[in-house]
Chain A
Amino acid sequence: MQETSNPVRIGIEGVFYSLEHVPELVRFGSKPAREIAANSNLDERLTGRLRSFSAAVAYAPHQVFIGNLSPEELRERKQPWYEYLIDGAAAKGRFGDLVGQESFYALLAQADQFKLVSFDEAWAAYQSNLFASPKPGQLKSAGEIVGLHQKGALPLRSGGKLVGGFEEGHVEDVNLSAEILLENLAAKATAAHALKSLCASLSVDPGEIDHVISCSEEAIGDRYNRGGGNLAKAIAEQAGCVNAAGGDVKSFCAGPMVAMVHGASLIQSGVCRNVAVVAGGSLAKLGMKFQSHLEKGMPILEDVLASFAVLLSAARKGQPCIRLDSAAFHRVGAGASPQGMAEALAEAPLKKLGLKLTDVDCYAVELHNPEITLPSGSGDVPRANYRTLAALAVMRGQIKKEQMEEFVGERGMIGYAPTQGHIPSAVSYLGHALDALRDGRIRNALFISKGSLFLGRMTQLSDGCSFLVERNES
């Protein structure tokens, strides 16, 4: 390996992931909502295939996501993972947690400043540890909740029973409809939970954080500012980061990598001492592939919102860090073929450091759980990405064609992240990468994310961002 002489490193203090298990919100996901509106029979079928919280906790990919199981151990486990659950699995992980639906409702209530959500006071009394400090008007009688539902509020259920309502923010503005605001508030609440939990796990006072960048996917704004943004500041406020400024960085699924490069650059330039990069869960993607799961007799696996928070600061000796001088972006003229993307996002950052594809111990790519995507014909996304990298290594003469599978096996991993867009896109592996770097199992890892810009119908282009992570040995 030939290294560059002036490495630019930004320290990664830690990461926290959260999975909010919200089976009774799956019906509000974009796909289920549209399909149920067209065929109401689907509602009952979907409800019949929802998982319990204990089944979601014991699901092996979730245990990898929160740090209790390694990606290598997942590869050895018998499939289908939804049948071979883990006995004694815990909801708290080494760098993450699973949150039950009732706890998520409480997070939603805490994050609400506009009387959007309210709950049945009798039900809330049973959850007294969760609803200890309700805001004025947040708890209502059962009759008032039914009345809200009849007037158009989204029904929030627990065990099939109506326990709450989510109201619109404006009668005429579709951007402030109950459906959109529930998505937005869910993103805020889940990201704030991840950020608070990260601070607690690192014993960092949230007041010490200088800047928060949100790469959540939701469009926050009204009819005059659709997608106007700065969800980051709302998240920072909710997490108690009273001295932080904030801003959003978006690039579809590539958002987290782009946001981390921006955050690292703010530190490198001296603008900030530290930066938290956060993202909330995507409610719109709940149940995205529920029909194929129903057809195959599977449980509805897309029943979790996923969020994360990372804290960056100046690098200390021995600490895992971002090699900011390796950061690469997919450029306008780079081309969107698989080869073009791999050249721009894998080869280009390594070339900057004088490294070859075979000098990287581990690649973090799109880490979608194949058990979710294969039944719908969407393929094994991580494997497709790893094979493209291996093919590029063959083209460059770094490995032989017959070594492709070895390359994939040694430097890749099986996918385990929920299909939450920005969440599976490389950043899911950061917690495991920090562990593996600290104990010397790997020397480095290349994080590669891709974004589907064409979905917004403004350009045919894709996007992407990548960087190397390694220990600071200098």
Chain B
Amino acid sequence: MLKGKKVIAIGERDGVPGPVIAECLEGGGLEVVFQVTECFV
């Protein structure tokens, strides 16, 4: 359903980092146009 969609992945320091989210999504056929990890504290 999501294959081929463009996505933005925002990860978090104390949760799941951006590159990990991106890798999972790319494995599912999505196109990650931007990924970043942020620290919210």
A binding-site residues for B, Cβ under 8 Å: 253, 336-338, 366, 368, 373, 376-379, 381, 384-385, 419, 424, 450, 452, 454-455, 460, 462
Q: In the bound complex, what is the Cα–Cα distance between A460 and B14 (angstroms)? A: 14
Residues of B within 8 A of A336 (CB): 17, 19-20, 37
- For the complex with contacts A379-B14, A424-B41, A452-B37, 18 further pairs of A-B residues with Cβ separation under 8 Å are A336-B19, A337-B17, A337-B20, A366-B41, A368-B41, A377-B40, A378-B40, A378-B41, A379-B40, A381-B14, A384-B14, A385-B14, A450-B13, A452-B13, A454-B36, A455-B38, A460-B19, A462-B17
Q: In the bound complex, what is the Cα–Cα distance between A366 and B15 (angstroms)? A: 13
Q: Give the distance to chain A from B1, nearest Cβ to Cβ, in Å.
A: 26
B binding-site residues for A, Cβ under 8 Å: 13-20, 36-41
Q: In the bound complex, what is the Cα–Cα distance between A381 and B39 (angstroms)? A: 11
A460 contacts B15, CB within 8 Å?
Answer: no
10 shortest interchain CB distances as A-B pairs = A452-B39, A378-B40, A336-B17, A454-B37, A452-B13, A368-B41, A460-B19, A384-B14, A419-B41, A381-B14
A460 contacts B41, CB within 8 Å?
Answer: no
29 CB contacts below 8 A, A to B, read: A253-B39, A336-B19, A336-B20, A336-B37, A337-B16, A337-B17, A338-B14, A338-B15, A366-B14, A368-B41, A373-B40, A378-B40, A378-B41, A379-B14, A379-B40, A381-B41, A384-B15, A385-B14, A419-B41, A424-B41, A450-B13, A450-B14, A452-B13, A452-B39, A454-B37, A455-B39, A460-B17, A460-B19, A462-B17
Q: In the bound complex, what is the Cα–Cα distance between A291 and B19 (angstroms)? A: 29
User: Inter-chain contact count A-B, CB under 8 Å?
Assistant: 47
In this complex, what residue of B is CB-closest to A379? Answer: B14
Chain B interface main SS type: loop
Q: In the bound complex, what is the Cα–Cα distance between A452 and B12 (angstroms)? A: 10
Q: Give the distance to chain A from B16, nearest Cβ to Cβ, in Å.
A: 7
Q: In the bound complex, what is the Cα–Cα distance between A376 and B13 (angstroms)? A: 16
Max chain A Cβ within 10 angstroms of own Cβ: one of B16, B20, B41: B41
Residues of B within 8 A of A455 (CB): 38-39
Q: In the bound complex, what is the Cα–Cα distance between A349 and B29 (angstroms)? A: 39
Q: Give the distance to chain A from B12, nearest Cβ to Cβ, in Å.
A: 9
Max chain A Cβ within 10 angstroms of own Cβ: one of B14, B18, B19, B36: B14
